[in-house]
Structure 1
């Protein structure tokens, strides 16, 4: 259980990368109190969506975007009047301007509304419209690229190109949003066959806008995560891998410089009036595109696979991808927060909604542009950390093979389970158990250590443990305030919390890969362990846990889910440091109590198992005191004897107790295990453990059932062995 590493982000696991959760927003918006002024404007705007004048239809789409931006209450008000259905109808409009604004409004609705609203879009038939638009965009790209080579575009061609770029970016962003929404919409997106369009956009990146190619990169990255059908479609698409590799290897700096030059040229006289706060901030889109596509190739091609023979992912990773990611890891988050605070003061005052005739969905003030760039740069760090997490995931454990459910196998399992139905008393079961002199022959699977780079390079040369720990340090704006007030800038808060989580996931993987390497390497083992600053990580993680734990009520609030996620992963890194070098840790009494107290607030069983294993290792280390062992042992023994536990936690707690007291010569054994009556307590739960283990359906959870049967046999043998010592 405890060896799980984070190699990929499943659709259910990913924190939505597109939106600020409603609960992060303030001013009553999350509670459903819509602005009365906006409510009065709603019906006239909706009526104009069906106006015979295309200018009115275009304006209405843009106005909807403006009114609902980061305003959950007004968005829901529009939803109640079927704004989603009305906008989807406009996707079949005959006028390009309407198509662009309608798709932009739906895109922004998806960004603001997230999973719920994307599901509504799918239910109201958006997929069929997207199929038509994908074909239209692909054909237009082909015609424009063939007609404009070496020729100056006509006014009509220029306008068509402008509409194409805007429509393509909106449609691809919608595909991305829908893919992230839920498994059902993901399957629908797979059926669109959009991989061809996305690859075509990347291949034509020199003649298309950076925004379109970035949207295609984001969609590809999302769709290739934990989605085998789409990965296969990409790998099999002609020249797809060659195109992807060319994006990774193309230097992003000239593209960034060109974008900044265009931005400065475009400001002209407005520069002094509007301010140039964003001038010193990189545009960041070309770099983000490159990082995303680096993730795509690692998602699609497994090292050592047949496809890898023509890709060489390991060489690409060490030569290009890892250096690229390494350059992202030294961002000073406190400086970023201070910069955001200053920019927030320059934002237009809330409530001044301009619905003029020239309204566009993407109009932004200079301060908003700067804030968007900061958010994009932080997002780039997040994607880089996700790529690094997979590079650091060096444990390749065998996946559990599904059991073949033949009639004979099912009948045999049912007969075995029926044999177990008979009730026995604890002592009868102990008597029937395995003799402790015969050790159970467990099939040990030693994990293969195969990180994406040399481990010593990651630890010593790149100093990743220290740098990842720094990125996990919280800022004043890392989580929404616990007092139901909004964050000063919700998008920054949302992205910061994800960034901390991704840094901790990468650190967790690196620690586990290091721990797995220690017993398998005959040379440099001590040097390898010494290159990990375990005490620094230990202290930082407990500082993080203490900060989150200082507001316990917030852990139960809606919209504060990331606090628990970050807490769980910080505790995972605590567990990792214990795995690497438990004897080097300065363990205080409050550290042990913090670990014990954390179990009550953790949600995931895997996180609880990590804490139990960490406590067991601490209680068994060479320099542990009798008192510390007693505190941990007394807490562990009450878990299976007095608590209602999940099967995973029950197995972990029993394994921990057996490991701690398997050696009766330890100084703490007699004063703790013997004098506190642990043996008698264990003897009284044998029937309970047997009953819980046999409830596991071996056809659905074969590995867990095997683990349960092993711990049951070990428990009985352990009891017999400890009893034999008294004779």
Structure 2
């Protein structure tokens, strides 16, 4: 159960800069909006259709400021069709109105996530975006051609407004692509790949924000999205532009964006010396885009050389992100929050969507750095995924069930008809491992196990508080949670690849520090200390992180089981009831490895045996049944182990197993072979192994 490596995310992903509503607290406890803000709702909505362009511009910006990070106020505006009204303003005759409307819609998409993006799509935003993308693309062509200086002043001003739209429109496209398969198909059909490449190609003439938005959109749109990827590869200059960005040092752009003589290469958290971060994030996102886009051995690979690029450029780039002190970041954010002006932006005539205080700008820089680390970890997760995909022959349908078998046959009759021990072949071959970089380099030279586990450790801002009060800074909490999870995913893939290599005879276990056990269990304890929070709305990341840490424990149990601390199995059995099915089954496999480790005590082994038998007799679901049976057989397959007589024999476990043979057979036959062929095959194999195991133990 532990071999499920994370390679690419096929399900819809959270927008990496979106803060979940449940983190925000504004209106969460009682569902009521801020009364002071609510008084301004109707006047603002009325001015969205005012005859004066200045009033319409003001209203678009005012909506954005009123609903910023306030879920209740946003829903109140939604109930008055603010989304539809703003979409109408995208076709306004005045450029200022279009710019502010698109900026507010962009912020709505980021804050509201999938729900509000779906509403935008249903209310017809795509035709407006498609038209705007055409205008923007033509403007960028003129900018790249250097014709702007030859135009009259009013035309240059109009072009400036259109360029101001670019970041907003691209970010809307990105958010819609993240929302659902339906919206993703609409984005694919809009054929915006040419615009995105132009935005990156003209990054020096445009702005860091435009280039970053294009990079974010490309990273999203190339995730297992063949229609878009094929269209992008068909752009003649796409690959040269992308490779050029990845290979070029980002520091000159950071220095220029910062407006100072230098920018610190370490990207530390000091106030005035922290680089803007947009050029670095852009470079990391494009690195991920290339790894999404270029398959090893493909025609595109002949132009890029993705393996060489990964080892010589991408991996060193990501390596430089892995030593960020997240606890220090949390302290810095807590301090900056106290510096934010208590009074929000005044909704005067000069209000803008992106009006921010100095402290808020600094907070954005920290958030951007956390996002950069998260994206880097996502790329590293792919790099560490080294198991070769193999066709599972058990998934092939092997004919009809044994319909002639008497359904009333008892346990002993089924055992008698079952296969003999060792009757059907040899041990499974070790899986093939092929990581982008060598495992010794990842494990030892880069010290990834320790560094990834450090990034996964929780701090005071990692999770939203369980209760009516929000985090002191919800965006940082959301970003930290993602960093922790991505670190655990990368670590899990690295440990899976390492365990497979160890099975193949490679001497790599000594490269894993024994203290890693304490690190993964610290996360399990930290996420599970409040049992009620694990099931509360808005606390979903707690369970994600707990399951990620236990996945790491699986990898450690296959590589350095002897280093597991006493009581490890007890912690795992206590966690299993709250886990989802797949994670629970993997945790059972971890239990089996730990219960059979050389240093296990008879008492600990007996406690695991008692738990396994109790779980088997409680009629578990099919997947857990398979995991439990495999665990028992794995632990007690060797009758020579010191715990066998005092635990397996003394407790008559063979009798308990005999009494469930018929039920196991019945449950395996209930699994629909057409809907879940792999589970059916595994259940049938577990049944056959159970019968053979009982025969073998009896023969002793």
Q: TM-score range by the shorter chain?
A: over 0.9
- Look up the match of 1:542: 521
- What does 1:503-518 correspond to in 2, within 5 Å? 503-518=487-502
Classify 1:249/1:344 alpha carbon distance in 2 versus 1 (closer, same or farther; 3 Å).
same
1:460 deviation in Å? 1.2
1:475 deviation in Å? 0.8
1:320 to 291, 299, 313: 313
- Look up the match of 2:258: 260
- Look up the match of 2:423: 439
Corresponding position: 1:398 with 2:390: yes
Unmatched segments (≥5 aa) in structure 2 = 263-268
Q: Which moved more, 1:440-449 or 1:385-394?
A: 440-449
Asked whether the equivalents of residues 255 and 261 of structure 2 are also in contact (C-alpha less than 8 Å), the reply is no
Q: Which moved more, 1:284-293 or 1:31-40?
A: 31-40
CA–CA separation in structure 2 for the residues paired with 1:664 and 1:628? 17
CA–CA separation in structure 1 for the residues paired with 2:141 and 2:205? 11
Q: Which moved more, 1:456-465 or 1:75-84?
A: 456-465
Q: Indicate the RMSD between aligned Cα atoms, in angstroms.
A: 2.2
- Look up the match of 1:267: none
CA–CA separation in structure 2 for the residues paired with 1:300 and 1:447? 26
1:248 to 246, 249, 265: 246
Q: Which moved more, 1:67-76 or 1:133-142?
A: 133-142
2:373 to 356, 381, 385: 381
2:355 to 348, 356, 363: 363
Classify 1:221/1:47 alpha carbon distance in 2 versus 1 (closer, same or farther; 3 Å).
same
- What does 1:104-123 correspond to in 2, within 5 Å? 104-123=103-122
1:586 deviation in Å? 4.2
Equivalent position SS for 1:717? helix
1:229 deviation in Å? 2.3
Corresponding position: 1:425 with 2:410: yes
Classify 1:687/1:87 alpha carbon distance in 2 versus 1 (closer, same or farther; 3 Å).
same
1:602 to 569, 574, 579: 579
- What does 1:523-562 correspond to in 2, within 5 Å? 525-526=506-507, 528-533=508-513, 535-562=514-541
Kindly provide the CA deviation profile for residues 630-669 of structure 1, in whole angstroms up to 9, marking residues without a partner as x.
1111111222221432x22211111111111111121211
- Look up the match of 1:494: 478
Asked whether the equivalents of residues 395 and 678 of structure 2 are also in contact (C-alpha less than 8 Å), the reply is no
- What does 1:333-344 correspond to in 2, within 5 Å? 333-344=326-337
Q: Which moved more, 1:82-91 or 1:682-691?
A: 682-691
1:421 deviation in Å? 8.2
Asked whether the equivalents of residues 15 and 110 of structure 2 are also in contact (C-alpha less than 8 Å), the reply is no
- What does 1:166-245 correspond to in 2, within 5 Å? 166-245=164-243
Asked whether the equivalents of residues 15 and 498 of structure 1 are also in contact (C-alpha less than 8 Å), the reply is no
CA–CA separation in structure 2 for the residues paired with 1:484 and 1:220? 37
- Look up the match of 2:465: 481
Q: Which moved more, 1:309-318 or 1:440-449?
A: 440-449
Asked whether the equivalents of residues 417 and 694 of structure 1 are also in contact (C-alpha less than 8 Å), the reply is no
Asked whether the equivalents of residues 28 and 468 of structure 2 are also in contact (C-alpha less than 8 Å), the reply is no
CA–CA separation in structure 2 for the residues paired with 1:153 and 1:261? 28
1:30 deviation in Å? 5.5
Asked whether the equivalents of residues 630 and 686 of structure 2 are also in contact (C-alpha less than 8 Å), the reply is yes
Asked whether the equivalents of residues 480 and 486 of structure 1 are also in contact (C-alpha less than 8 Å), the reply is yes
CA–CA separation in structure 2 for the residues paired with 1:460 and 1:505? 19
- Look up the match of 1:4: 4
Q: Which moved more, 1:499-508 or 1:681-690?
A: 681-690
1:158 deviation in Å? 3.7
TM-score by length of 2: 0.95
CA–CA separation in structure 2 for the residues paired with 1:153 and 1:402? 69
Equivalent position SS for 1:359? coil
Corresponding position: 1:587 with 2:565: yes
1:420 deviation in Å? 6.2
1:166 deviation in Å? 2.1
Q: Which moved more, 1:137-146 or 1:166-175?
A: 137-146
Asked whether the equivalents of residues 133 and 192 of structure 2 are also in contact (C-alpha less than 8 Å), the reply is yes
- Look up the match of 1:270: none
TM-score by length of 1: 0.92
Asked whether the equivalents of residues 30 and 72 of structure 1 are also in contact (C-alpha less than 8 Å), the reply is no
Asked whether the equivalents of residues 595 and 608 of structure 2 are also in contact (C-alpha less than 8 Å), the reply is yes
Kindly provide the CA deviation profile for residues 154-210 of structure 1, in whole angstroms up to 9, marking residues without a partner as x.
533442343223211111101111111122212222222111211121122221111
Classify 1:708/1:391 alpha carbon distance in 2 versus 1 (closer, same or farther; 3 Å).
same
Corresponding position: 1:719 with 2:694: yes
Asked whether the equivalents of residues 471 and 499 of structure 1 are also in contact (C-alpha less than 8 Å), the reply is yes
- Look up the match of 1:164: 162
Classify 1:595/1:402 alpha carbon distance in 2 versus 1 (closer, same or farther; 3 Å).
closer
